[in-house]
Chain A
Amino acid sequence: MILIRYHNKKFFTTGAEPSILYLIGAILFQVPMYNRADPKFLGLPFFYWFQGLWLFIATVMYVIAVLLLSKDDEQEEVQK
């Protein structure tokens, strides 16, 4: 929770802080970090399998983020 909601600033009109979503963007931006051939996995260069692996990690993180956001959505509903 602390990792995900590291600040209280409201960026978006949704009233939620989906920082977890920016985290994934921030990692994918670091192209030089994963732009390498080794170590290989199942014959795939690192550049390929790293990004493929992130599809799974992203899904898990997105679902966590959405469940947190859903709570905010519900609170919003209640406030109305």
Chain B
Amino acid sequence: MTNMNVVLGVFLSLFTIFAILGFGASRWRKGNLNNLSEWALAGRRLGPYLAWFLVGGDLYTAYTFIAVPSAEYAKGSIYLFATPYVMTTFAIAIVAMASLWKMSRKNNYITGVDFVRDRFKSRWLAMLIAATGIIAELPYIALQIVGMKAVLEIIFVQYFSNYLFVSEIALLISFIVLSAFTFWSGLRGAALTAVMKDAIILISVVVVVIAVPLSIHGGFSTAFAKAKAESHMFTGVETLLPKLTNAYISLFILSALTLYFYPHAINGVLSAKNVRTVRLSSALLPMYGVGLFLLTLFGVLIFAVPDALNLVRTTGNGALVVPALLIYTMPPWFVGFALLGIFIGGLVPAAVMAISQSNLLVRNIIKEFKKDLKPETETRIVKWATVVFKFLALGFVFALGSSDTYAISLQLLGGVFIAQTLPAILLGLYQKNLNKNGLLAGWFVGMIAGIYLMLQANHFAVLKTALGNTPFGLLYIAASSLAINLFVVYVWTYVARIVGHRQLPTGVKAGE
């Protein structure tokens, strides 16, 4: 057992430095605060290598540190899908995001929703896409809160004996810190702390993924042998159950397709300096996937460290896999450092997500109705909206009764929502003759199907899985609901053309 006082000391002092930087940011150059939404984009005119560093740091969120290892620990090899997922997603970025970037630069779009509005000349479709983005961020933020909570829990559990009490206090503290951080320092705080955050996170990842496996006697062979004997990974330990092949493919393809269409991701891409930056930084990003790949293996490695395994088993919380492994294998000062990395790795992305939601709300929904919004009012709405959205995200944690061990399902739920926007945003890039009412109808049907299938798959209870039964075996529900959505879009477009109500696109044309 490591010396917890040292861990806590390092954690708190680093967090203090981080907080001074982050919260102090609101006082720095006060004058610019009015142009919050413009600032969001202008601040990121980066070259390919700096973009690579910053975007790479952004990839390591609670999803990587907490959710994926936890799911691997509980369910097994199917959650290795995260590795092909990151590989595929950057291929999509190189092609599709570069197209979107070109169109956006030409027509001055700032959000993906701007593109949809102009392409299909439909206010309602655009607002629906904006609303979908806002909703989809909520479970993703909830996942970050779960990650922050896991870090505090592992520290507190050493000091207090009452486990449930500890969890709730940890959740409350995570939530307050997150709300305060976003409210007071906003994107500026997130950007000012980005370099410190990314440096801490990347150092933690590199050291952790190398040092922890080396410190374990017998390394991966022992871990896999023990996991095979002791675990209940129903999807397989060393290999994937053959009947889950389609599930595996649907998980990585749909996750890859949806990642870049979250509001917080799309804005980052559109703000790049030129197409080459978009492409080159994406091309280099799979290297960061190596960290994600090795962190996934922590879900297996924990079986080789009995003390850490015991802690996870007694608390019944798989989210503690990585923190527990750290505590039992690393020197205390480094544990404190790495735990802080995981903590702010949830905090900063959650803040960025909440701000992108609020910007979308103001720019693509409220301004549709009230064109003459004063910049001060706009900023005020954005600030308060971030607080409201975080309450809603917290609501997600409670309402869905999500289990921390299966936190990855929160991100997968967000993917089900984002998938319904793909026909308009992604297909819209390449197909000019989709019927806008068909897209609206497809969205409604796909959304209802997606939500229903999610509820059904989880037996209308705690959110644990995002896989549903289909004639093709188990599939990620984003895939099945998107298929339904696309079916409606194409049938509608086809029928509308036959009966002569064909909607000629008046917006930008493909190829421009």
Partner-B contacts on A (CB < 8 A): 12-14, 18, 21-22, 24-25, 28-29, 31-32, 35-37, 40, 42-48, 51-52, 54-56, 58-59, 62-63, 65-66, 69-70, 73
B228-251 near A? 1/0 per residue, CB < 8 Å: 000000000011101001001100
User: B272-307: contact bitstring with A at CB < 8 Å (1 yes, 0 no)?
Assistant: 000110011011101101100110010000000000
Known: A37-B238, A47-B239, A73-B276. A54 touches B95 (CB 8 A): no
Please determine whether A47 and B286 come into contact, CB atoms closer than 8 angstroms: no
Is there an interface contact between B219 and A28, defined as CB atoms closer than 8 Å? no
How many pairs of A and B residues are in contact by the CB < 8 Å rule?
A: 125
Interface: B84 (CB within 8 A): yes
Chain B contributes a number of interface residues (CB within 8 A of A) equal to 48
Bound complex: CA A66 to CA B279 (Å): 6
CA distance A21 to B279 in the complex (A): 12
The stretch that binds A, out of B9-17, B63-71, B85-93, B263-271, is B85-93
Of A13, A47, A62, the residue contacting B90 (CB under 8 A) is A62
The answer to whether A12 touches B290 (Cβ under 8 A) is: no
Query: For residue B286, which residues in chain A have a CB less than 8 angstroms away from its CB?
Result: 55-56, 58-59, 62
> Who on chain A is nearest to B509 by CB?
A13
Q: Does B330 contact A (CB under 8 A)?
A: no
B240/A29 in contact, CB under 8 A: no
Contacts of B430 on A, CB cut-off 8 Å?
12-13
Does chain A have a CB within 8 A of B224?
yes
Q: Which residue of A lies closest to B287 (CB)?
A: A59
With a cutoff of 8 Å between Cβ atoms, the chain A residues found around residue B87 in the complex are: 24, 28, 54-55, 58
Against A, the Cβ 8 Å flags (1 = close, 0 = not) of B39-51 are 0000000000000
Task: Kindly state the separation between the CA atoms of A69 and B238 in the bound complex, as whole angstroms.
Answer: 38
Q: Could you name 23 residue pairs across A and B whose Cβ atoms are closer than 8 Å?
A: A13-B512, A21-B95, A22-B91, A24-B88, A25-B88, A28-B84, A32-B242, A43-B218, A43-B219, A44-B297, A47-B239, A48-B238, A54-B87, A55-B83, A55-B86, A55-B290, A56-B287, A58-B87, A58-B286, A62-B94, A66-B94, A69-B279, A70-B276
Inside 8 A of B382's CB, which chain A residues have their CB?
A: none
B290 & A14 in contact (Cβ 8 Å cutoff): no
What is the minimal beta-carbon distance from A1 to any residue of chain B, in angstroms? 18
Chain B binding surface, main DSSP class: helix
Give the residues in chain B near A55, CB-CB below 8 Å.
83, 86-87, 286-287, 289-290, 293
- Residues in A with CB closer than 8 Å to B91 are 18, 21-22, 24-25, 58, 62
> In the complex, A54 Cα to B223 Cα: how many Å?
23
Return chain B residues, CB-CB under 8 Å to A25: 88, 91
Instruction: Tell me which residues across on chain B come within 8 A of A31, comparing CB atoms.
Output: 240, 245, 248-249
- The residue among A22, A44, A55, A63 with the most chain B CB atoms within 10 A of its own CB is A55
CA of A48 to CA of B283, assembled, Å: 22
| Contact across chains for B249 and A43 when beta carbons are under 8 A apart | no
Interface pair A13/B99, CB less than 8 Å apart: yes
Pair A63/B284 contact, Cβ less than 8 Å: yes
Kindly list 17 other residue pairs between chains A and B, CB separation below 8 angstroms, not including A24-B88, A31-B245, A69-B94. A12-B95, A13-B430, A13-B510, A24-B91, A29-B249, A32-B242, A35-B242, A42-B220, A43-B223, A51-B84, A55-B87, A55-B293, A59-B286, A63-B280, A63-B284, A65-B283, A69-B279
